[in-house]
């Protein structure tokens, strides 16, 4: 018989606060057209993107995260010292070690929490949310700061007609804490490693050298393959998350998918047969694809603009490089 004392956690977990940060520089499609042979009409018709935000030298991964985290902490009504863990999802922190989460934890005044990074691409926020939920219920933390942050402008090849217009920068953060009622549903997540090459970095860090003539590593993707996978396979995953939470499409108030592409979002809405009353996040139009940051950024904007309200039931789903995905139903803070 085990002598280990059972953990004493909360019965459930919930999102208690949300915050976002978008870089000050707004980049219209006209700037992208300086380096690729395309048109504003083509970019909008293929992606729905009109503008995106690009970070300055001062708007680092850490700096953007700290700004977003401060807003989330204030929105949750807790103090930084109450945070027991910091989880950061990013693919654009260029140091293999140490994790950027430790620096962010220190700068937000969180004391000595557990702090680590995860790399799950555009599904990273969902992964982090699920880990945080487990920590709260298991009892290893009372409050967890989950951050999705990217500076994808650093990894964008501006001469690549397929991807130059897609990516933006930004940070989104949430505080996850205890709840007496279910407020974060079961997560449906997974990976399809046989498709790993459809979204990838062009050059591995260990083969790159500053003196070589190769371009700096950038993100590339097979657009059509990703589109088909996202539209057809991710709609199934979203439905599984609804089923797992015992929620029907008509019970939803809000749908917050990864802001990859407007056509993907619209196709998923159609495939899921979401009712007209469901508010759909379309932050991609002015923010671009910010990978792990896109869901919390979109969530923050919906709440700030009144398009969504506290207590609403929302389906969130992220998907991307790996290929990986994560979907769950949450109650908005």
Q: Which of 93, 258, 261, 277 is catalytic?
A: 258
Contact call for residues 142 and 205 (beta carbons, < 8 A): no
> Does the active-site annotation cover 159?
no
Q: Which of 29, 93, 122, 261 is catalytic?
A: 122
Q: Mark 299-326 as b/e (b = at least 16 C-beta within 10 Å).
A: bbbbbeeeebeeebbbbbbbbbbbbbbb
- Token duo for residue 163: 């991807």
Handedness of CA 77, 78, 84, 89 (dihedral sign): positive
For residue 89, give Cα distances in angstroms to 71, 143, 192, 255, 260.
Answer: 18, 17, 19, 21, 16
The Cα angle at residue 249 between residues 244 and 251, in degrees rounded to 5: 90
* Distance (Å, whole) CA 315 – CA 313: 7
What's the residue count for the chain? 333
* Distance (Å, whole) CA 53 – CA 139: 38
Paired residues of 21 in beta bridges: 171
> Does the active-site annotation cover 106?
no
> Does the active-site annotation cover 29?
no
Active site residues: 122, 258, 289
């Amino acid at each position: 018989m085990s002598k280990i004392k059972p953990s004493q956690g909360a019965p459930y977990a919930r999102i208690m606060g949300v915050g976002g940060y978008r870089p000050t520089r707004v980049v219209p499609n006209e700037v992208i057209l300086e380096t690729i042979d395309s048109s504003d009409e083509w970019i909008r018709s293929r992606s729905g993107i009109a503008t995106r935000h690009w970070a300055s030298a001062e708007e680092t991964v850490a700096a953007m995260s700290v700004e977003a985290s401060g807003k989330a902490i204030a929105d949750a009504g807790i103090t930084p010292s109450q945070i027991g863990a910091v989880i950061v999802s990013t693919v654009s922190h260029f140091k293999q070690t140490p994790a950027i989460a430790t620096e962010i934890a220190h700068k937000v005044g969180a004391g000595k929490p557990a702090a680590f990074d995860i790399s799950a691409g555009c599904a990273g926020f969902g992964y982090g949310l699920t880990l945080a939920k487990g920590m709260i219920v298991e009892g290893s933390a009372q409050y967890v700061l989950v951050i999705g942050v990217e500076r994808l402008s650093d990894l964008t090849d501006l001469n690549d007609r397929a991807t130059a217009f897609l990516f933006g920068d930004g940070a989104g953060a949430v505080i996850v804490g205890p709840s007496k009622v279910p407020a974060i549903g079961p997560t449906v997540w997974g990976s399809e490693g046989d498709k790993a090459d459809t979204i990838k970095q062009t050059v591995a860090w260990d083969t790159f050298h500053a003196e070589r003539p190769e371009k700096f590593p950038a993100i590339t993707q097979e657009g059509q393959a990703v589109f088909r996978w996202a539209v057809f396979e991710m709609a199934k995953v979203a439905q599984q998350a609804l089923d797992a939470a015992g929620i029907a499409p008509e019970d939803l108030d809000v749908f917050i998918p990864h802001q990859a592409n407007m056509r993907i979002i619209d196709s998923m809405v159609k495939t899921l047969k979401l009712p007209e009353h469901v508010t759909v996040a379309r932050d991609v139009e002015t923010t671009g694809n910010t990978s792990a940051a896109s869901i919390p950024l979109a969530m923050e904007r919906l709440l700030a603009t009144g398009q969504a309200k506290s207590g609403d039931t929302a389906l969130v789903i992220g998907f991307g490089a790996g290929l990986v995905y994560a979907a769950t139903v949450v109650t908005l803070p």
